[in-house]
Chain A
Amino acid sequence: MEDYPEELRTPPLSLVSIVGCPELHPSISAALSSQQPPMNTLALPDFAKASILARSGKARDPLAPPQAPAGILKKDWLLKHRTRVPAAVAALFRADQVSGDPAQWLQACSDLENLKSAIQGNNTKLVVVLVQAQASDELSEDITVALRKRAEIDSKHLVVLVEHDETEWSRSLSKLKNVFVELCSTFYKEEGRRIKARIEKRNFASIELSIRYCYKVAVYAEFRRDWSEALKFYEEGVRVLREMVGTSTRLPPTQRLVEIKAVAEQFHFKISTLLLHAGKVVEAITWFRKHIRSYERVVGTPEVAFLHWEWFSRQFLVFGELIETTSATIPDTLSPRFGTADNALTEWEFQPAYYYQLAATYLREKRYAIECSSSMSNLTTEVNGTPESVMPSVYVGQYVRLFEQGDTVSVLPLSDTEYTSYALSEAERFQDSYEIIALFRKAYESFQSLGATRMASACSGGMAIEYYAAGDFSNAKQLFDGVAGLYRQEGWTTLLWENLGYLRDCSMKLNSPKDFISYSLEMAALPLFSVSREENRESRIKSGPAGSPTISRRENIQQEVLSVLERKQTPEEADDGFYKAMEEATHLDIDQISPLRMVLIASVAFHDQSVKPGSPLLVSVSLLSHLPSPVVVDQLEVQFNQSDCNFVIQSTQEDSQPLDSDFHDQVVQTTTSLTLSTNRWMRLTHEVKSGQSGKLECLSVKVTINKHLVICCHAESPASMEDFPLWKFEDQVETLPTKDNVLAFSGQKLIQVEEPDAQVDLVLNSAGPALVGELFVVPVTILSKGHAIHSGELKINLVDARGGGLLMSPREAEESESHHVELLGVSDVSEDKESMEEVDSIRKIQCSFGVVSVPTLSVGDSWSCKLEIKWHRAKSVMLYVSLGYSLGSSEEEALHRLNVHRSLQIEGQVPLLVSHQFLRPFRREPLLLSGIRSLGGDEKKCCLAMNESNILIVSARNCTEVPLCLHSVTIESDGDGKQLCSAQQISGISNGHAVIAPSEEYKGIFSVNPQALNSNFNLGEIYLKWSRDSSLGEDQATHVIMKHQLPEVSVEEPPLVVSMECPPYATLGTPFTFYVKIQNSTSLLQEIKYSLVDSQNFVFSGAHNHAAFILPKSEHIVSHKLVPLGSGAQQLPRITVTSVRYSAALTPSTSAATIFVYPSEPKFTLETSHSAYDGVLS
């Protein structure tokens, strides 16, 4: 756009001229140009200069036949009208000049005449301005009239300017401005109308004039700011112009086309500018599209095709710039409908970048055309040479030759051949590449900012190709690399192929054999659409250096790599520098994201998941290549993270001398041939010896091909191997890297080498289940069988066997630190006291965890300790003991620690199940009222009668499988309890302790005699002191005290106590007396009723039912005489005593109402029987 002349780029402004009074000119010009719309002023200092306003054109002979015009548009016409042909001329006179001296008056008149004659025929309007110093200066009417008559103007075209009065000056100046505006408008309207009349009457000799007239009318309309009319005539002109392409014969065809296009360009530019400035973006774009469509095929002859492409490219560039400068925005109504049928415009067409991109594309087209033309013209124009002194003619788009003959200079038309060679030589002087790159870059940046990465990369690719063409290979390579990345990612292989072709060539030119090889290999391994491409390939394609994407081309490329490696000259133009840059061996690294993964991928899988150190293990190395031809591998080097395991496989089929000698300490295996065929896994299984314990991982597989190419593939596990993005969906048989299917999907490239077997025995012993409360001892013995133990450490851990980890209940954990099972300590049995102290320093024991260090032991030694564990609850516990040690004391050896683990499940058991039972005294029933009242019985509180001896039976059952010694059973009550209640042991443990065999029960009997009333009386706890049976050799210290809480009881005073008295036994047939004593301990009279139920084994005398009154604090005795009728344990007649006051009945228990009846009088010593009898009764 910058190349266009100024007058074309800006809207035309009206032009007026002022003559005379030069001192006033600056202020008048400034006033006019500051107006809206502004006006340009052509200021002439004096009247002598007025002649330049005269028509310069030679007077045409009106009688001569109309001559065909030599061109369509004159180049300077617009400039002339903008700068030299004023619409109005103002003649400035000072008032004193015309009013005073007659000589001055005459001079003024003659000046006016001159001016009139100068503008004659131009239709230029005349204004006369009189300049007064003061508004008060009176001008005589005569003078003004005379002056008007002289000038032949209306009175309103005579303006008086007042110079020295500020307000008057501006007022009169604005009047002058108005006059000018009016006159300009008239002038341009008249001029336009004049020309328009010619068009309407079709009063023109040739089509060129028609176009010219359209142009002029449009320009005049622009002067008037009548944009719609201007647009209309410009469009009309374009239409006529387009028709001219096929019809005009005025010029030779090439130059004719050039002229037409140049004119069309101007018209188009004007139209676009007008549309865009009016905000009609859609119309402008539609117009541009039409313009392009009507000219895109008007290429002309092939020799001058470059002119067309240059012109074509410029159209896009200029339109793009126009859109950018007017900052056209997409109308809101349009944007959601892009791409749909009712909107023909695309989104990009609103973006300048789109036009820049196309401009660059066509400029590139021009470059190609020039290359063609140059090669053609080199042959032809060498004889003729380029014509000299060719210059643009006065007409737009025309060129002529200056011809000097002596002093006369004439212009001669050019022949097409001359013009072509001139244009070609001109065009060759320019470096289009930079222009193209700049355009692409502009488009690239713009698209990038719009987020259109693909468009951007298309531009970037364009830049790269241009750099490539210009020989700037490093820039080209960089850009191509970027673009190739996108195509790789999106899988557009054909485009990628094309790109790689350039890259390959660039790296060749840049003497970078490594890149060359890697790009070539990638190309060779690309999957390609080979569908029905072949038949079209014969036609010569002006494609990139890649060639056509076919299998055979891929094979060729692979072959070329091999030739390059072998230093054979390739058919390509590789120079010496390229080979010099080659190293002895080219190294390529292929990792998991490298595009060269297609070329070679190494999958490594160990057959096992773990292995013992030093034992052999199998590893499968599989290689896959997508290269089209088979690849012969010379040598395969598999590298592990433990370099001792590395191994090398060499192929021996070659004239084999070993490649390198630096494998002296590695396993070298030779095989007959290692050939990788296309798309098929080459599987090798090798046996390696596992190294040190820890992780053994395969790092890489180095493949040497052709002795000079070393490809280092990162090893991949089959389990985590990713697909090839490009080859993923190719039509090929999928094979697995290993024969074993399981290995192919789950194989790993790393293996765990286990620790060597520990040659130390760790023995845990336990004497059966542990008993709650005791200090349970677990002896641990460490016995070294083959390893010396250095810096050994014993870790002890107690874990709940049912899971859950911690050995305490959550509730308890909150309350206290108490554990259900606690590790109390580790007692050393070593006799060496000093070492024990040393050991103590690193002994750490917590409730369920302990660490104990083990002294250094040499082979064959043993060490033992005892773990002391206490169970608070019956729980099953896992005891884990692990011994960690190292084989030596040196630092290196200390790193390698061996571990021995043992575990033991230990049950915790409650040793004794303690229960208790309260009994009333035998045949003595106190009436306990609370027992009657609380019938609901929600709290089963035991009731004891006050001042009665209640019997408490404590039974302890041995729940374990070992016999236990019970040393004592006592009832310990708290301070108050002791005074208020006496608990006496009736039967106890004789001679120190009682041995309770498993599942046996021991019973202790206590008599409890509470002496105070208390509804919540705490009897205290039962203390059982027990130990394991002493026959096992335990000492006394291990007595364990076990507590059993007795429930609270309620102590009450019974109002009535019923006691039965009868002999301890009876004899069949012998009568005995059965007393029932009812004691009233209250101070009230108590009425009682009693009834006796018949028993079939007894006959008795006395009342069955009776009632009695018992006086306070006295006793009532009911007696019956009974005769037993049957022997054995017999039920006495059942007596029920009912207290009327308390509505309570008392029935003695069945056991109390039982008596043993002997068939005859027994014979036994009374002493023992008495003592036993006493024991039971008291």
Chain B
Amino acid sequence: MASTACFVIISKNDIPIYEAEVGSAPKKEDLAYQHQFILHAALDVVQDLAWTTNAMFLKSVDRFNDLVVSVYVTAGHILSIFLNPLYLPGSRITSSHFDTKVRALARKYL
């Protein structure tokens, strides 16, 4: 089954700092922004859940027919995984290298 995925990294203050449409499916004749709409709406649940559970990976916090929203909450709810001293919290990730890596990983697993 062809699958498509939308990968978004969201900073602490709910601003998306990285987004990528990955996957092998040809673009469905679908609302181009539907994925984002769903992800944005799912933040409501994530916000609640992130404080009630100590699991970092939330497999399905929300679903919109066949689209399942999974969330990985980092410790402290901020993106401290970037070991980059120049990184300004909240700024967008614009590195093309990062982008390539994400896409390569997506190709591998999707």
Task: Mark A residues whose CB is within 8 Å of B.
Answer: 292, 296, 336-341, 344, 346-349, 358, 361, 447, 451-455, 457-458, 461, 487, 490-492, 494-495, 498, 529, 531-533, 536, 539-544, 548, 728-731
Whole-angstrom CA separation of A341 from B62 in the bound complex: 13
Taking a contact as CB atoms closer than 8 A, the residue among B29, B32, B49, B64 that contacts A358 in the complex is B64
| Residues A336 and B44 in contact, CB atoms below 8 Å apart | no
**CB-based contact A539/B26 at 8 Å:** yes
A sample of 10 inter-chain contacts (CB < 8 A) reads: A339-B45, A339-B49, A341-B55, A346-B45, A358-B65, A452-B41, A452-B45, A491-B16, A494-B36, A728-B90
Q: Which listed residue (B20, B43, B53) contacts A339, Cβ 8 A?
A: B53
Whether A531 and B99, one on each chain, are in contact in the complex, defined by CB atoms closer than 8 angstroms, is yes
Knowing A339-B58, A542-B29, A730-B92, the reply to whether A461 touches B63 (Cβ < 8 A) is no
- In addition to A339-B71, A361-B64, A487-B40, 6 A-B residue pairs with Cβ atoms within 8 Å of each other are A346-B61, A491-B15, A494-B19, A531-B19, A548-B32, A728-B90
Residue-wise, chain B 45-61 has the 8 Å CB interface mask toward A (1 for contact) of: 10011001101011111
A666 to B33, CA, bound (A): 51
How many of B's residues come within 8 Å of A, CB to CB? 47
B95 to chain A, nearest CB (A): 10
Q: Are B14 and A491 in contact (CB under 8 A)?
A: yes
Task: Flag if A729 contacts B92 (CB, 8 Å).
Answer: yes
Report which residue of A348, A453, A543, A728 has the largest number of chain B beta carbons within 10 angstroms of its beta carbon.
A348
Counting chain B CB atoms within 10 Å of each CB, the highest count among A292, A339, A457 belongs to: A339
Contact check, A344 vs B60: say whether CB atoms are below 8 A apart: yes
User: Could you tell me which B residues sit within 8 Å of A by CB distance?
Assistant: 13-17, 19-21, 26-27, 29-33, 36-38, 40-45, 48-49, 52-53, 55, 57-66, 71, 88, 90-92, 94, 99, 103
Asked whether A339 lies within 8 Å of B44 as measured between CB atoms, the reply is: no
Q: State whether A338 touches B88 (Cβ < 8 A).
A: no
Which chain A residues lie closer than 8 Å to B32 at the CB level?
541, 543, 548
The reply to whether A339 and B59 contact each other, CB–CB distance below 8 Å, is yes
Contacting B62 at CB < 8 Å: which of A348, A539, A540, A728?
A: A348
Whether the pair A536, B92 counts as a contact (CB closer than 8 A) is no
User: A855 to nearest B CB, angstroms?
Assistant: 67
- For B103, what are the chain A residues with a Cβ–Cβ distance below 8 Å? 532
A349 to B65 alpha-carbon distance, docked (Å)? 11
Task: Specify the chain A residue showing the minimal Cβ separation from B92.
Answer: A729
**Which of chain B's residues has its CB closest to A730's CB?**
B92
Please determine whether B61 and A338 come into contact, CB atoms closer than 8 angstroms. yes
A340's nearest neighbour on chain B, judged by CB, is B55
CB nearest neighbor in B for A364: B31
Most buried by A among B17, B27, B38, B57: B27
Q: Which residues of B have CB within 8 Å of A542?
A: 29-31
Which chain B residue shows the least CB distance to A450? B44
Asked whether, in the complex, the Cβ of A453 is within 8 Å of the Cβ of B26, the reply is: no
Which residues of chain A come closer than 8 Å to B17, judged between CB atoms?
Answer: 729
Alpha-carbon gap, A348 to B55, bound state (A): 19
CB within 8 Å for A490 and B59 given contacts A337-B53, A358-B65: no
Question: A498 is contacted by which of B13, B15, B33, B52 (Cβ under 8 Å)?
Answer: B33
Q: B44 contacts A453, CB within 8 Å?
A: yes
Query: Which residue in B26, B44, B58, B60 is a CB contact (below 8 Å) of A454?
Result: B44
B69 to chain A, nearest CB (A): 8
With a cutoff of 8 Å between Cβ atoms, the chain B residues found around residue A336 in the complex are 52-53
9 tightest A-B contacts by CB? A729-B91, A339-B58, A491-B15, A452-B44, A458-B41, A339-B61, A490-B14, A731-B94, A454-B44
- A346 and B33 within 8 A (CB): no
Is B59 within 8 A of A495, CB to CB?
Answer: no
- What's the least CB distance linking B87 to chain A, in Å? 10
Q: Is the CB of A536 within 8 A of B37?
A: no
Alpha-carbon gap, A490 to B40, bound state (A): 9
Q: B60 contacts A346, CB within 8 Å?
A: yes
Q: Contact check, B90 vs A458: say whether CB atoms are below 8 A apart.
A: no
Distance to closest chain B CB from A463 (angstroms): 13
**Chain B residues within 8 Å of A495, by CB:** 33, 36-37, 40
Specify which of B15, B45, B59 is in contact with A348 (CB 8 Å cutoff): B45
Neighbouring B residues of A454 by C-beta, 8 Å? 40-44
Residue pair A461, B37 in contact (C-beta under 8 Å):
yes
User: Residues of B contacting A548 with CB < 8 Å?
Assistant: 32
Contact assessment for B15 and A340 in the assembled complex, using a CB-CB cutoff below 8 Å: no
Q: In the assembled complex, which residues on chain A have CB atoms less than 8 Å from the CB atom of B41?
A: 452, 454-455, 457-458
Give the residues in chain B near A452, CB-CB below 8 Å.
Answer: 41, 44-45
Q: How far is the CA of A461 from the CA of B36 in the complex (A)?
A: 13
Q: Closest A residue to B50 by CB, please name it.
A: A339
B51 to chain A, nearest CB (A): 11
Which residue of chain B has the shortest Cβ distance to A546 in the bound complex? B33
CA distance A457 to B36 in the complex (A): 13
Cβ contact of B31, chosen from A349, A487, A543, cutoff 8 A: A543
A1161 CA / B43 CA spacing, docked (Å): 124
User: Can you name the residue of chain B whose Cβ is closest to the Cβ of A486?
Assistant: B40
A455 touches B55 (CB 8 A): no
Smallest CB gap from B43: residue in A: A454
Are B31 and A529 interface neighbours, CB within 8 A? no
Nearest residue, chain A, Cβ from B88 = A729
Q: Is the CB of B33 within 8 A of A494?
A: yes
| Neighbouring B residues of A455 by C-beta, 8 Å | 41, 44
Closest CB-CB distance, A110 to chain B, in whole Å?
Answer: 66
Q: How far is the CA of A529 from the CA of B32 in the complex (A)?
A: 14
Q: Which residue of B lies closest to A487 (CB)?
A: B40
List of A residues within 8 angstroms of B31 by Cβ:
541-544
B16: chain A residues at CB < 8 Å are 491-492, 494, 529
